[in-house]
Amino acid sequence: MVLLDYAVLAGYFLLMMGIGVWVMRRVKVQEDYFMGGRSFGKLLQAFAAFGAGTGSSDPVNTANTTFLSGLSGMWSVMYWLFVTPFYWITGVWYRRMRHLTLGDWFVERYESRRLGVAYAVFGILFFMVYGSMMFSAIGKVAAPMVETDQVTILGQTMGIEYVLVPVIGVVVLLYGIAGGLEAAYYTDLIQGLCVIFLSIVLIPFGLSALVERFGDPDTQSWLHGFVIMHQQVPESYFNVVGSTSTAEFPLHRIVAVVIINLVGIVVQPHFIATGGGSAKTEYTARVGLVTGNFLKRFCTVGWVLTSLIVVALFADNLELIKDPQRAWGVASRELLGPGLTGLMLACLFAALMSSVDAYMVVGSALVVRNIYVPYFDPNASEKRLVGLARVTGALIVAGAVLISLSMMNVLDQLELTWVFPVLFAAPFWVGMYWRRATPAAAWVTVAFCAATFFLIPYFAPMAWPELRTDPRFLGMNQIVETSTTWAATPADVARREALIRDWDAQATTIAAQDNQPIDSAAVTDVIGEKPASLAVGDDYTVVDRTGGQSIFWTKGVYPVDADGNRIKTQPQAAGNPEVIDEHTTRQLLLYGDDVELRGFGNFRLEFLLYYLAGIDLSQVTNATMSTLELPAKIISPFLIMILVSLVTPPNTKTALDRYYAKMKTPVDPDHAKDLQKLEAAYADPGQFESQKLLPGTNFEASRPNRTDVVGFVVCFAVCFLIIALAVWSANIGG
């Protein structure tokens, strides 16, 4: 990066802060700060949903998986695609709630302020940890672009991310604290446009570079880069479900992921705003939520296409071979000129900031609305509450920054957020549709989920360390090596040549240190045998290892020494290889009987059900293993919620009548008229009985109308259109 790039970056940050100061003058009351006065139209609502759902890690992760497995790598992000049609239905909910937080919903539906507090506490922790994950992800993006992993400040050398994270946190604070949700939405619009720009800008630059390097720029246009891309990259890289990835995304896995995400996403705290609660009308809420999420899926197509170009262009880049997560940063550094590199980095920062700003505002609303007002100062002035919200928002972002700086491990931080949606999902869904759902059942369900999926799995191995070496709990699915052979492409040859150069450099260093020949055992014992040379058209074999996934331990089962420390013992071939076809063989691997194994991570308590039922999971794939989490993590909380509700006292009839009457009363964008409609609904809640899917029962779901059905079907059609677009664009020139 040069001075112009840093100037672009600084200008971008100043613009974001200026928007916050400009909007600050319009913030008078809580609804202005937390919901922007519920004044947002389709455009801002769409980019709010787009911004909150798109993080800086998304293009990085897509580039990583595509670099490794081709077009099928898009499913690492795209598996959310089929959740989107359901947003057409849920978008109405958040607007009809007419609340400032989802904690308010739990208070109203279950007549329990304490349940609102519990939700607020988990919401705040969720925002801190989830925000910290996004802060941590920025290091992978920025380091290749600024061409340094470390900086020295006041004599102390530290990773570049330890400087970037606090700086970005301060920028988010300055515009978010000042202007609240309205400032967040205006900046989300700008940042969303930046992310869209990010998604397409590298494509023409990359195609032009392919023509310059492998073609004839005098006679071929940049569009000929598509043809060259197919010449350089194995054809298997253009399959929507690759040969080595098929087991990772079978139909049952995609269905399970859709269900898991659908159940959990609706109780994420920021959905009360970005999910439609801040929109002018119900239709705006629907269109904004669906459009924003489809925008992300269309951007994913751009990320995938860019990544395929990177595979063709930088196959010999050792930096990417060692760490494919740097693919996006390396491509930006190598392809973009002065100014554009800074803009690209600003776009990636935008993806981070547009998520964190919404978390900050909604998190502060949880503190103010569900903890401070009901328990400390019910008569606090609007000015005082807005001031408290600004302070609370600052603390939430500061907490996210501190967690990020202390952990800097994206996967570990992500695992901390997985338990959250399960805690409140069943009380939300059951309470939304069933009058008989009770406060006691909600508390029991939350406690059950916390104990079963978080507390016991974490503390049980501490209380009983022998669990980690108990043979009954050391099972894993079969370890299988699949060898696939094809005619080497130019990209394969370039990658092999880069590995040979790296081996030569390492071998020379080790041989010089040990005063040994370069081909001696002293060298090969450390870095292995030298890769064989390769030419275009030669047989090229890729070995893919699957399985070995622990049934009971979240971080796996591994060989250990007598002291319990991990060792590098490898499983050995068992039996003869199985020939799948003329290009593919499969070999089963097993650990020897003399190898001591140990479980790592948390204990997966839910898999005890399968063990007690005598079900053998050693033959299932990794995808099936993950799918089997569905019954325990999703179905059991719903069963607990329903069964306990049947034997505990329900809410008062008055409160239930008011709640369901409100949820069946369409929102009027005129606040005064909306209040009049609500009063009429409260006065005669029986008028909505005929709208119910099952009149005369406790099941409160309404019959779908024409808008519901048509919108849902159209959204599903768009899902397949996006997949078709990804396949078509990747196969241009093929």
Per-residue confidence band for 35, with pLDDT thresholds at 50, 70 and 90: low
Which pLDDT score, from 0 to 100, does residue 276 have?
A: 83
Eight-state DSSP code of residue 160: T
Which pLDDT score, from 0 to 100, does residue 340 have?
A: 82
Chain-centre distance for alpha carbon 27 = 32
Q: What is the mean pLDDT of residues 431-444?
A: 97
Q: What is the mean pLDDT of residues 52-61?
A: 73
Residue written as token pair 């964190």 = 356
Which pLDDT score, from 0 to 100, does residue 56 have?
A: 67
φ/ψ (deg, to 5) at 587: -125, 130
Q: Say whether pLDDT at 528 is over 90.
A: no
**All residues at 6 or more sequence positions from 624 whose CB lies less than 8 Å from its CB, including other chains:** 250, 252, 253
What residues does each domain of the chain span? 39-171+188-437+710-730, 468-633
CB atoms within 10 A of CB 562: 6
Q: How confident is the model over 93-139, as pLDDT tens digits?
A: 999 999 989 999 999 999 999 999 999 998 898 888 877 777 776 76
Which pLDDT score, from 0 to 100, does residue 516 have?
A: 79
Q: Where are the alpha helices (DSSP H) in 373-450?
A: 373-375, 382-407, 410-433, 439-450
Q: Rounded to an integer, what distance in angstroms lies between the CA atom of residue 166 and that of residue 75?
A: 32
**All residues at 6 or more sequence positions from 156 whose CB lies less than 8 Å from its CB, including other chains:** none
Candidates 262, 272, 269; CA nearest to 118 is: 269
Candidates 352, 334, 349, 327; CA nearest to 1 is: 334
For the ranges 185-189, 496-500, 680-684, the lowest mean pLDDT is seen at 185-189
Chain-centre distance for alpha carbon 60 = 12
Q: Which token pair is 717?
A: 């059609």
Q: Rounded to an integer, what distance in angstroms lies between the CA atom of residue 279 and that of residue 273?
A: 8
Per-residue confidence band for 578, with pLDDT thresholds at 50, 70 and 90: very high
Between 392 and 28, name the one with better pLDDT. Answer: 392
Q: Rounded to an integer, what distance in angstroms lies between the CA atom of residue 567 and that of residue 285?
A: 54
Total-model pTM:
0.84
Q: What is the mean pLDDT of residues 34-62?
A: 77
Between 230 and 171, name the one with better pLDDT. Answer: 230
Q: What is the mean pLDDT of residues 356-366?
A: 82
Length of the chain: 734
Which pLDDT score, from 0 to 100, does residue 27 have?
A: 67
Question: What totals of helices (H) and strands (E) does the chain contain, helices first?
Answer: 30, 9
Candidates 262, 282, 271, 293; CA nearest to 702 is: 282
Between 620 and 148, name the one with better pLDDT. Answer: 620
Q: Say whether pLDDT at 281 is over 60.
A: yes
The β-bridge partners of 539 are 487
Q: What is the mean pLDDT of residues 375-389?
A: 87
Q: Rounded to an integer, what distance in angstroms lies between the CA atom of residue 142 and that of residue 56?
A: 10
Between 245 and 135, name the one with better pLDDT. Answer: 135
Q: How confident is the model over 454-469, as pLDDT tens digits?
A: 899 999 999 999 999 9
Q: Say whether pLDDT at 159 is over 80.
A: no
Q: Rounded to an integer, what distance in angstroms lies between the CA atom of residue 271 and that of residue 289?
A: 9
Between 618 and 341, name the one with better pLDDT. Answer: 618
Which pLDDT score, from 0 to 100, does residue 534 have?
A: 93
* pLDDT cut 90: percent of the chain above it: 43
Per-residue confidence band for 143, with pLDDT thresholds at 50, 70 and 90: low
**All residues at 6 or more sequence positions from 405 whose CB lies less than 8 Å from its CB, including other chains:** 162, 165, 166
Angle at 284 (CA atoms; ends 361, 87), nearest 5 degrees: 80
Q: Rounded to an integer, what distance in angstroms lies between the CA atom of residue 314 and that of residue 322?
A: 12
Q: Say whether pLDDT at 704 is over 70.
A: yes
Q: Which CATH number does 39-171+188-437+710-730 carry?
A: 1.20.1730.10
Which pLDDT score, from 0 to 100, does residue 245 have?
A: 40
